[in-house]
Every structure is written in structure tokens, then in C-alpha cells.
């Protein structure tokens, strides 16, 4: 009698709009694969009215949500976020118990994913982690990312440097795959909108000088995050005839205060400044394509912007440690440094160099490559990990 193999159940967790935008292509690859079964668990910001109830966008994209995990994002204080992690761990534990996935996919370093990884760890569910090995020394996300690496069993990195770092953390080299960045894959894969379509959606002309501004709290420096963002706003208000598109902050510590400051700034300059809670990946990348540059402290300015030949003013220490293209202008978070960086960004000399910029985040068909590995890798004994010593030592016994 012929025995038919059941499709491998791949569970993807998403807790934020930005993370889902990166995962969208991979989710589609898993959904379309005949020998894979997609399970989608949505949590965190997606379920919050404050952040636009973006789970609806996931459903509009044609994906069925198998479980929703309400993490109670009612406060962005340290206590509130700790409570959310606890509620998330409970919710993910219940979801995984019901779904019984063969493999869990997590991307990045947010606290929602720490809860999901913890629940999967004790349930002996193998974890595939995307974007490990990177550094963001200005945020506690850095520690979360490395923690998930140690709980994960398969690793998909964006560069060889990051692969080496994952191996340095003790992960087996044969379980580390350098595939490139999903964000770059999206730029190639998605048919980006035309300029007039972008302008109609965002409600602002992008003629002349324009900026896309994305700012998130620097969670290891909470006392200065408002002051530093205010410095940016003070600089922006002194530039005449610049059109500005803000996207709102994530659900990080004190992110609501940043969003309030954005709303107040937009009210002062309604003719040339707009704000969007969530643009979605297609509209975000399309907007980025047509602005003069991106400003703030988001990873999109480091990873995606260079591939669109756009300059980035990266402010402060939040992204400290990431690989950078020559199109990224790093500056201190004081008024004069920000102004100098923006002047450089708008200069004809700097703009003329952008078409020649190469990104350190290469790779093609990233989503397809990851889906192929998820489908074909052996899961036999995968949860029993052994630490990989870069310099083997017999004092710890045989390897």
C-alpha cells in the first residue's frame, strides 16, 4: 500500500506591520507549495486599533489567519511590555498546542517574537530564524535577536558577516544559510506603484525635495529619545519647501509619545507634511522610490533604501553595528549634526553618487530559497542542538 506523506506544517508568526511586509513573499511561497501547509499566527500590533488593525491587510492579501494572539498592548511602559511578553507566551503556547506545527518561522528581534520563541522552545518545536547575527546596539532588540538565535535551529542570514556571527554564537555551520535580505527580494519581486499612485494614496505631492521619516525609540537610551526626536523636528521645520511623509513608531517603550509628537508636527504644517500609521510594504517601498531620501533610525534606511539608490540620514545609535552602504549618512542626534547630514543628503554631489552605490545585503529569490530549505531540510533530531566551538576543545568531551 502506498503511504502518502502529510505536508510539512510551517507556522509563521508576525507581530508587526514592518515584519509582515518582509515576510509577505515567503508566506506566499509557503502557501503555494504543494508539500507545505501554511499556518499563520498574528499577534501584537496587528490586533491593536492604535496601530491600524493591520491584520485586516493580511486578510486582504489572501492569507487565512489560523490564530490571533492578543498580547494586550495597552501600555508602552517597561511594565506594560513585560506584561505583553507574558500574555504572548501564554497565547503562543496555546496556539502552538492547537496547531502542532512541524516548524516555526520567526523574523527579526521584536519582543513579540521572544514570547513566541520561548513558547516553541519548551514545546520542542524547531525554529527557523531570519535576520540573525545582526547588531543594533542602541536597542534591547539586539539581545532579543541573539536570544532567538540560541533558541533557533535553522538560520537564514542577510550576509556572510552575519552568518559568521551566528556561528560564533555556537550554531552549527550546516544549519546557517546566507540567503540575503527579504526586503531586497521584495524590491525586485513587487511591481512598485507609479509616482502619481503613491501621491494619491499618501495625500501629498513628492515634487521637488521630499523625505520619508521613520523614527523608533532608542530603547537603551529612553531618557533622551524625545529630546533627540525633537531635535529632528526642529531641523525639519526650518527647511522650506520640503514635503515630508512620516510613518509612525512601533509599539516600543514610549513609542506613543513619539507618535503624539508626529501628530502635533503635522497639525502645524498640513500643506506639506503627512503621517501614516502604516503604509504597508508595497506602498512604503513605492514611496521610498520617489522621495529624495529617508531620515530617522529605522533599519529600512540601512537595508532597503540603498537598493533603491536612495540616501539615508541615520540618526543616533539605534542601528549601531549594522553593515552600511555608502549611501548611509550617520550623524549624532544633535541639531547641528542632523542639519549638516540633511544638507549633505540634498547636495548634488551626494545625489550624483547614489546610482553607483552597492548594497551589502545581496541575494536574489530569497523567499523561494528559504521556502525550499524549509521544505527539504531534515527535522530528525533537530531540536537536540550541540554547541559549535570555533576552536574545538577536548575538555568538553567529543563533538
Model confidence over 37-87: pLDDT tens digits? 999 999 998 998 888 888 999 999 999 999 999 998 877 888 999 999 999
What the block records as the C-alpha cell of 94 is: 496555546
Backbone CA torsion sign across 116, 216, 157, 394 = negative
Q: Which pLDDT belongs to residue 224?
A: 84
**pLDDT > 90? residue 221:** no
What the block records as the C-alpha cell of 114 is: 521572544
| Tens-digit pLDDT profile for residues 263-295 | 999 999 999 999 998 898 899 999 999 999 999
Q: Which pLDDT belongs to residue 222?
A: 72
Q: 0.95 cut: is pTM over it? A: no
**pLDDT > 80? residue 372:** yes
- Mean pLDDT confidence for 107-111: 94
- Given a contact cutoff of 8 angstroms between Cβ atoms, the answer to whether 179 and 363 are in contact is yes
Radius of gyration of the chain (CA): 21
Separation CA 225–CA 134 (nearest Å): 22
Separation CA 45–CA 27 (nearest Å): 18
The mean of the pLDDT values for the chain is: 92
Start and end residues for every CATH 3.40.50.2000 domain found in the chain: 8-179+365-396, 194-356
Beta bridge partners of 271: none
Task: Find the largest Cα–Cα distance for the chain.
Answer: 77
What the block records as the C-alpha cell of 190 is: 513587487
Please list, in sequence order, all residues whose beta carbon lies within 8 angstroms of the beta carbon of residue 57, skipping any fewer than 6 positions away: 17, 20, 278, 280
Q: Which pLDDT belongs to residue 4?
A: 52
Q: Which pLDDT belongs to residue 249?
A: 86
194-356: CATH architecture = 3-Layer(aba) Sandwich (3.40)
- Given a contact cutoff of 8 angstroms between Cβ atoms, the answer to whether 275 and 247 are in contact is yes
Q: Which pLDDT belongs to residue 26?
A: 97
- Mean pLDDT confidence for 91-103: 98
- Given a contact cutoff of 8 angstroms between Cβ atoms, the answer to whether 47 and 16 are in contact is no
- Given a contact cutoff of 8 angstroms between Cβ atoms, the answer to whether 152 and 170 are in contact is no
- Mean pLDDT confidence for 318-324: 93
Q: Which of 97-101, 137-141, 388-392 has the highest mean pLDDT?
A: 97-101
Separation CA 33–CA 337 (nearest Å): 50
Beta bridge partners of 330: 314
- Mean pLDDT confidence for 13-36: 94
The verdict on domain 8-179+365-396 having CATH code 3.30.70.1520 is no
Give the residue carrying C-alpha cell 535580505.
181
Pairing status of strand 210-214 against strand 243-247: parallel
Amino acid at each position: 500500500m502506498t503511504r502518502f506523506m502529510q505536508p510539512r506544517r510551517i507556522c509563521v508568526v508576525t507581530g508587526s506591520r514592518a515584519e509582515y511586509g518582509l515576510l509577505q513573499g515567503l508566506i506566499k511561497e509557503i502557501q503555494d507549495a504543494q508539500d507545505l501547509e501554511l499556518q499563520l499566527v498574528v499577534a501584537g500590533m496587528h490586533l491593536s486599533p492604535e496601530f491600524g488593525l493591520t491584520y485586516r491587510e493580511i486578510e486582504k492579501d489572501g492569507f487565512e489567519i489560523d490564530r490571533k494572539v492578543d498580547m494586550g498592548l495597552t501600555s508602552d511602559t517597561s511594565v506594560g511590555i513585560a506584561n505583553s511578553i507574558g500574555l504572548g507566551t501564554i497565547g503562543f503556547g496555546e496556539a502552538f498546542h492547537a496547531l502542532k506545527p512541524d516548524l516555526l518561522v520567526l523574523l527579526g528581534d521584536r519582543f513579540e517574537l521572544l514570547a513566541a520563541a520561548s513558547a516553541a522552545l519548551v514545546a520542542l518545536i524547531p525554529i527557523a530564524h531570519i535576520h540573525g547575527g545582526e547588531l543594533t546596539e542602541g536597542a534591547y532588540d539586539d539581545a532579543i535577536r541573539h536570544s532567538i538565535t540560541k533558541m533557533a535551529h535553522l538560520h537564514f542570514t542577510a550576509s556572510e558577516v552575519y552568518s559568521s556571527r551566528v556561528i560564533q554564537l555556537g550554531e552549527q555551520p550546516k544549519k546557517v544559510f546566507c540567503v540575503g535580505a527579504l526586503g531586497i527580494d521584495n524590491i525586485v519581486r513587487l511591481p512598485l506603484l507609479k509616482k502619481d499612485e503613491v501621491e494619491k494614496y499618501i495625500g501629498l505631492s513628492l515634487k521637488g525635495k521630499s523625505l520619508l521619516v521613520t523614527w523608533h525609540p532608542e530603547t537603551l537610551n529612553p531618557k533622551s529619545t524625545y529630546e533627540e526626536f525633537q531635535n529632528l523636528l526642529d531641523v525639519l521645520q526650518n527647511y522650506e519647501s520640503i514635503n515630508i511623509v512620516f510613518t509612525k513608531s512601533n509599539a516600543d517603550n514610549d513609542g506613543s509619545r513619539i507618535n503624539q509628537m508626529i501628530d502635533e508636527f503635522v497639525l502645524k504644517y498640513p500643506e506639506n507634511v503627512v503621517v501614516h500609521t502604516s503604509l504597508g510594504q508595497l506602498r512604503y517601498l513605492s514611496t521610498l522610490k520617489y522621495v529624495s531620501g529617508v531620515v530617522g533610525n529605522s533599519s529600512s534606511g540601512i537595508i532597503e533604501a540603498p537598493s533603491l539608490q536612495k540616501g539615508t540620514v541615520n540618526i543616533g545609535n539605534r542601528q549601531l553595528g549594522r553593515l552600511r552602504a555608502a549611501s548611509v549618512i550617520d550623524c549624532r542626534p544633535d541639531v547641528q549634526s542632523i542639519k549638516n547630514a540633511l544638507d549633505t543628503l540634498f547636495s548634488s554631489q551626494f545625489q550624483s553618487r547614489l546610482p553607483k552605490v552597492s548594497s551589502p545585503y545581496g541575494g536574489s529569490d530569497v523567499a523561494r530559497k528559504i521556502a525550499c530549505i524549509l521544505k527539504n531540510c531534515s527535522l530528525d533530531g533537530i531540536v537536540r542542538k550541540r554547541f559549535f566551538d570555533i576552536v574545538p576543545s577536548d575538555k568538553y568531551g567529543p563533538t
